[in-house]
Structure formats: C-alpha cells, structure tokens
Amino acid sequence: MILTVRFRKSILFLGVVVFLSYMLPAVCRAEVQDDLSQCAAIEDDLLRLQCYDGMASRKAASVERVESENRTDTCVAPVAKPSYLSRLWELDRDQSRGRFAIRMHRPCYILPFSFNFDPNVAPIEEAFPGRKVQKSEATFQLSFKTKLWEDIGEKNVDLWLGYTQRSFWQVYNVDQSSPFRETNYEPELLLNLPMDLNVLGMTLRTINFGINHQSNGRAEPLSRSWNRIVANFGFERKNLFSTHDSLVVELKSWYRIPEDTESDDNPDIEDYLGYGEIRTSYFWKKHRYSLMVRNNLDDDENRGAMQLDWSFPLNNRISGYFQYYLGYGESLLDYNHCVNRLGLGFILTEWN
C-alpha cells in the first residue's frame, strides 16, 4: 500500500514536471512575440531601435541571472559538520589546529548556585575549628588541552596534555571570608588513537591511553591525591532518531598506581570510585543531555555515583546548564562521603 501511494505521487510529480517543461517555453515564446510586435509597430526608426535594444538587454540580464543561480546551485556543495568527537580530538586532519593550540578538554562551566543537601562538614570543622560549611555554594570547572606531538610515527596518532580544575567555593559564607572549600587539580598526558570500528551499532572513534594525576594540593589532614593509568574509549552514532541528533558514549577505565602506605592519603579510594565510569551524552539540536554512572562493582559494599546534566542554548557560545550529582567521589575531599547536590548555571558550548 505504501509503495502504491509513493508510486502515484512519483507519477503525479513527473506529470507536473513534463507539463511545465512544455508550457513554460510556450509562455516565454508568447511573451517574446508580443514584445516583438510592439516594437515593430513603432514608426520612428530611432525609437523602434531603442525598443529592440531594450528587449536584448532584458534577455541578457535574465540569462546572466539564471546562469549565476545555476552556478551557485551546482558549485557550492554543503560542508558536512564535524562530529563532537572529531572536534574534541581533531580526528579529521583538515580540521587540525596543529601543535600547542589551546582547546576545550572537558566541559567548562560555572554554577553560581548549587545546593548540597548533606555537605561533608567533618574534615573542614576538624581542620579549622569554628568554621562552618554552608549547604549553598558556587561550583566551577576549567578544562583545556593542547597537542604536544602530531602524527607520531607518520600515523594519525597524537599526544595531548590536558588539565582540569574543579573548585567548590563557599561564596555565600561572607561571615568567614567566603573560603574555597575544595579545589581539585588534574593534569594528564594522553595518547590518542583514531578509530573507525563498528561496535553494536555505534562507531568506535577514538581510544586514549595515558597517565593521570589528581590532587587537592592541601596539607594534612585534608591532603588527597592519587595517580592512575587510564584507557578511554569514545563511541559515536549520528542521526539516531532524526537528522539533528547524535549519541556519544565515553567509557573511561583506570588502574591506580600503588603508593606507600605511609604517604597514601586515601588508601581506600577505589572502594568508593571503583575502576571506571560511563558517560552517555545525547545531542539534539543545541541541547545536550548527559548521564554519568560509576560503580565499584562490589556486591558486599556497593558504592557508586551518578550525574545528570542538561544544557540548553542561550547564544552561540554559552548555554544554560543544570547539574545533579548523587553519590561518592564528587571531589577528592568527599571521595568517601555521599553527596546529594543540584546546581544551575552556565556552560561553554563546543558541540553546536
């Protein structure tokens, strides 16, 4: 039935095209004949010649306009927009910015207002007697990277240096000089391998291998840090439900580099953060919906975390941003404390 309807529409469309192809030239010829008759009826030689010249000028202008439109239609081809992972890791060499160019790494955002229903007050109050921790604070993240080495071994393999900083600022605690409650610093060295492999209906676009360091740069008893070997996998699928959407799945895994017992600030951090996380992002027009899930895969003492994100367009470079976090490991200071937080603010966009 569907094929019959489509066949009828095709025949009808073809009939309209054939009809117009015969009628339009006839109409044009009739218009030209009328113009010629009007010019021929003029008795004055000079005026009759000007009439013929005017007809020739209009015809030349019409032909030039049609040719110009045809050149525009046939010569200017639409340029395919690079995908999210392509822009993030410069997978398309014609989009490469070369070495030492600064670009976004992880999301850069600011949440002027975030509310933690159960803040981790014990470490702060023990280290600074009399200091109070408010439930309302501001949170922001800065993250960028640069390419140190391009086309290693004459292959499309690059070495990147990344840096991420996330801060939790008690900006509304004016009575105690609005201190920063916690800041995490995270440099990493990543070797990026571009891929093009179909896996379960998605395309594996990139694999990262590298080393990661994360610390809060504080003295005891608030010092927290760890070093990891990381392996990250980026999957992508365009046009999942429409021509304006795409799905990105980022699988991150890590192995903690062992430390001496005496110098280990957080020996049980793997019991709370586990050995990896999965982040799924759905892009629809200029909106982004993301879900991060992390779990320690321990049946006896199961712990994990989830983060929900929604960004909505405000202009070409900045979007509104909503974030909800529930679980362990939001920051190093809170790695063993379950956080329940929601925030609203702004995020820089690099996926439009």
Count of CB atoms situated within 10 Å of the CB of 224: 21
β-partners of residue 320 are 312, 346
Quick check: is 213 catalytic?
yes
Catalytic residue among 143, 213, 253, 287: 213
Catalytic residue among 215, 223, 253, 287: 215
Residues sharing a CB contact under 8 Å with residue 166, sequence separation 6 or more, in sequence order = 139, 140, 141, 142, 183, 184, 186, 331
Residue 221: cis peptide before it, omega within 30 degrees of 0: yes
Cα–Cα separations (whole angstroms), residue 75 to 45, 61, 70, 78: 45, 21, 8, 10
Question: Angle 293-246-327 (CA atoms, 0-180°, nearest 5)?
Answer: 15
Q: Select from 232, 323, 311 the least CA-distant residue to 277.
A: 232
Residues sharing a CB contact under 8 Å with residue 42, sequence separation 6 or more, in sequence order = 48, 51
Cα–Cα separations (whole angstroms), residue 54 to 31, 35, 37, 50, 63: 14, 10, 14, 6, 14
Contact 176, 165 (CB under 8 A): no
- Known catalytic residues are 213, 215
